[in-house]
């Protein structure tokens, strides 16, 4: 009985995330579907992500900006704003190399993009994107659940942190879904 339950627990997480990945040279983020304020925020997220991963393979493309070049295999992320979608909510659909983030407002679009980017596999040799992944979030539910308890366990108390330190901390939470404390546990 215990062995059957354990085997079931091992099999469940595979269904939660994407099951198929394909290697790509470039990720082209098309910001034409976003309002201008969200487009500049998206560019700052992408530039910080490129700096942190040392990969540099992600580029924001818009009709007013020239300079993004596609590689041999390029994944494309596009945005569509829907009035019918809930404010702050999003839906992400991945099909082969095309990925669409649908949202009701700027916040939902950026959160949907960050949810998608957390599924991308980055390594020193290649970048792999999911080919068959969908996700959705409704604004009436919490996006992060029990994440608030981690602020008090940070290396410094929250009140002693500078604004830049808190921005980096929350960016790590949003982009990577974790922080430096969780990445390198100290065994006692």
Distance in angstroms (rounded) separating the CA atoms of residues 100 and 70: 18
pLDDT digits (tens, 9 = 90+) for 50-79: 776 656 577 777 766 656 666 788 888 989
Domain covering 20-142 assigned CATH 3.30.379.10 in the classification: yes
DSSP state of 30: E
- Cα 139 vs. chain centroid, distance in angstroms? 17
Q: Phi/psi at 168 (nearest 5 deg)? A: -65, -40
Nearest to 47 by CA among 35, 31, 64, 63: 31
DSSP bridge pairs for 21:
130
Residue-range domain boundaries for the chain: 20-142, 144-188
pLDDT attached to residue 28: 85
DSSP state of 98: E
Distance in angstroms (rounded) separating the CA atoms of residues 173 and 38: 19
pLDDT averaged over every residue in the chain: 72
């Amino acid at each position: 009985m215990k062995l059957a339950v354990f085997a079931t627990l091992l099999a469940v997480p595979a269904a939660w995330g994407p099951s198929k990945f394909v290697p790509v040279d470039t990720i082209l983020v098309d910001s034409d579907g976003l309002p201008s304020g969200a487009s500049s925020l998206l560019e700052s997220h992408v530039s910080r992500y490129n700096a942190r991963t040392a990969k540099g393979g992600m580029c924001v493309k818009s009709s007013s900006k020239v300079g993004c070049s596609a590689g041999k295999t390029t994944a494309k992320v596009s945005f569509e704003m829907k009035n019918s979608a809930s404010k702050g909510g999003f839906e992400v659909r991945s099909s082969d190399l095309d990925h669409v983030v649908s949202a009701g407002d700027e916040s939902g679009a950026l959160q949907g993009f960050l949810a998608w980017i957390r599924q991308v596999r980055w390594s020193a040799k290649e970048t792999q994107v999911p080919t068959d992944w969908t996700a959705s979030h409704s604004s009436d539910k919490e996006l992060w659940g029990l994440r608030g308890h981690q602020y008090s366990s940070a290396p410094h108390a929250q009140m002693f942190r500078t604004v830049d330190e808190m921005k980096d901390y929350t960016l790590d939470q949003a982009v990577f879904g974790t922080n430096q404390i969780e990445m390198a546990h100290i065994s006692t």
